[in-house]
Structure 1
Amino acid sequence: MMDEAVLEALDAYVECLFAPQDEALEFTLSASRRAGLPDIQVSPAEGRLLQLLALMVGAGRILEIGTLGGYSAIHLARALPDVGTMVSLEASAHHAEVARANIEHAGLSEKVEVRTGDARKLLARMIQDGEEPFDVVFIDADKRGYPEYLELSLTLSHPGTLILADNTFRGGAVVQPADETSRVLHEFNLSLARDPRLDSILIPVVRERVDGLSIARVKNI
Structure 2
Amino acid sequence: MKMKDAAAAIWDKVDDYVTEHLIPYDEVLERVLAANREAGLPEIDVSRTQGKLLNLIVQIKGAKRILEIGTLGGYSTIWMARAIGDGGRLISLELDPHHAEVATSNIALAGLEDRVEIRIGDAVLLLEELAKEKVEPFDLIFIDADKPNNPNYLKWALQFSRPGTVMISDNVIRNGEVIDHHSTDPRVHGIRTFMDMLSAQSAISGTAIQTVGSKGYDGFYIGVVS
Same fold (TM over 0.5): yes
Q: What is the match of residue 8 of structure 2?
A: 4
Match of 2:155 in 1: 151
TM-score (norm 1): 0.95
| Aligned-partner residue type, residue 150 of structure 1 | L
Deviations 1:81-128 (A, max 9, x none): 211110000000000000000000001111101110110000011011
1:16 deviates by 1.8
* 1:113 and 2:120 matched: no
Q: Return the structure number with greater helix share.
A: 2
* Distance of 2:194 and 2:24 partners within structure 1: 32
The percentage of counterpart residues that share the same residue type is: 44
> What is the CA–CA distance in structure 2 between the aligned matches of 1:9 and 1:193, rounded to whole Å?
35
Is 1:13 the equivalent of 2:20? no
CA distance in 2, matches of 1:132, 1:110: 18
Count of residues paired in the alignment: 219
Flag structure 1 segments of 5+ consecutive residues without an equivalent.
none
Quick one: distance in 2 between partners of 1:35 and 1:18? 29
Name the CA distance, whole Å, in 1 between partners of 2:165 and 2:210. Answer: 21
Q: Which moved more, 1:29-38 or 1:14-23?
A: 14-23
**2:166, 2:222 within 8 Å by CA — same for their partners in 1?**
yes
**RMSD value, Cα:** 1.3
Q: Does the Cα contact within 8 Å between 2:146 and 2:187 map onto a contact in 1?
A: no
Bigger mean CA deviation after superposition, 161-170 or 185-194: 185-194
Residue matched to 2:225:
218
* TM-score, structure 2 normalization: 0.93
Q: Which among 97, 106, 129 is matched to residue 101 of structure 2?
A: 97
Q: Per-residue deviation at 1:201?
A: 0.5
**Which residue does the alignment assign to 1:172?**
176
Q: CA deviation at 1:188?
A: 1.2
| In 1, Cα distance between equivalents of 2:31 and 2:187 | 32
TM-superposed deviation, 1:187 = 2.2
CA distance in 2, matches of 1:152, 1:106: 29
Q: Quick one: which of 166, 188, 196 aligns to 2:202?
A: 196
